[in-house]
Amino acid sequence: MKGLARKIEATLRLNGDVTSCFLGAFVEIGICCSLIVMAAPSFVKVLSDNDLGITGGHQVGILIPKAEISRFPQLEEDEKNPRAPIQLFWNGRMFKQGNFIHYNNKKFGGTRDEYRITPFTKRDFRTLGATTGDFLVFGGINSSDFEIDLVAPDSERARDLGLPQGAQPGSAVKPSAEAIADLAEADSQIRNGNYQVPDTFSVTKIRRFQSVFRSMVELNFGGACCLPGCPVDDPRFLEATHIVPWSRNPALRLDPGNGLLLCKNHHVALDSGIITLDQKGVNYVVKVSSRQHESRYVQREIAALEGKALRNPVRHALANACVAYHRKNIFRA
């Protein structure tokens, strides 16, 4: 339990306001960071194509909703394009020095009226591993210094924070009240040196017949990751993956034609839309997202899969409709 508490200690960043966030640094090789309480409020921005510079219409920068500008330094609004310096920290280190700026030329005869954190380049987002729909969590150290963390929408951390699934890119969201209460309780315990976490029981959904589905998928792909060149054949590192996610269509949950056997890394790549499948004749080949802000790992390891053929299933053909659904609705082209 102490190990779990220390992990929480290293990843939580709380503040006394109604909004709460938790941020890296993560526990690495047994080294932990101390708990930091953030006095200023925090908020969560759902990253959009516009934030990431994919639309190409402006210098890349994070658009700040007007309802959230009170969290940042006060600007001299009578000036044209007023700005104030800010610092962003990530994983306990200085990440970016920039400006909080109000592009207000509408007031001076132009058309623009928006607040941004800039400059924020595509390389910065690539370093973070950010993509559209990810949560960018801000925790205020003070009005000009912020810690940031990136949270994938389908991750355990997003669930722990109670962040909404399917949130509109570009919007600002808040953690759930229950998550705030849980994290505050954990913070209080850690401060008092209490690392005990009692068992909690609740009524929850379970995935019935998942072991049956896994057995069918394992047999279908010979007990090894079906992506080209992947050597993983140890069942402890393999997962039966739904092409159309479990939550999207109950009628497909047990269909072996909706399943791939993937190692854990490739499972994440499929579920997050970094890769999909494309049909070439009787075979399927891997298609990799062309978005330029992907992480170095994706560029180095995953991109090499582009155009390579999937290991053919031996018992059940993949369902074309499932593959098409993933390509249209999950894949981040």
pLDDT band for 204, please (50, 70, 90 cuts): low
Neighbouring C-beta atoms of residue 170, cutoff 10 Å:
15
| Residue 119 clears pLDDT 80, i.e. is over it | yes
pLDDT in tens, 34-53: 333 333 336 789 988 888 87
Instruction: Tell me: do 31 and 139 sit in the same domain.
Output: yes
Q: Supply angle C-alpha 37, 136, 23, rounded to 5.
A: 30
Buried b vs exposed e over 244-269: b needs ≥16 C-beta within 10 Å? bbeeeeeebbebbbbbbbbbebbbbb
Tell me the pTM: 0.58
d(CA 170, CA 46): 5
Please tell me the number of Cα atoms within 13 Å of 122 on its side-chain side: 12
| Residue 268 clears pLDDT 70, i.e. is over it | yes
Q: What is the CATH number of the domain that holds 21?
A: 2.40.330.10
Has residue 81 been placed in a domain? yes
Average pLDDT, the chain: 79
Q: Give the chain's domain count.
A: 2
Where is the domain boundary, 191, 218, 246? 191
pLDDT on residue 58? 56
Has residue 197 been placed in a domain? no
- The SS3 of residue 104 is coil
pLDDT on residue 57? 59
Instruction: Tell me: do 147 and 231 sit in the same domain.
Output: no
Burial of residue 82 (CB within 10 Å: 0-12, 13-18, 19+) is middle
pLDDT band for 294, please (50, 70, 90 cuts): low
d(CA 207, CA 264): 19
What is the residue range of 106's domain?
A: 2-191
| Residue 59 clears pLDDT 80, i.e. is over it | no
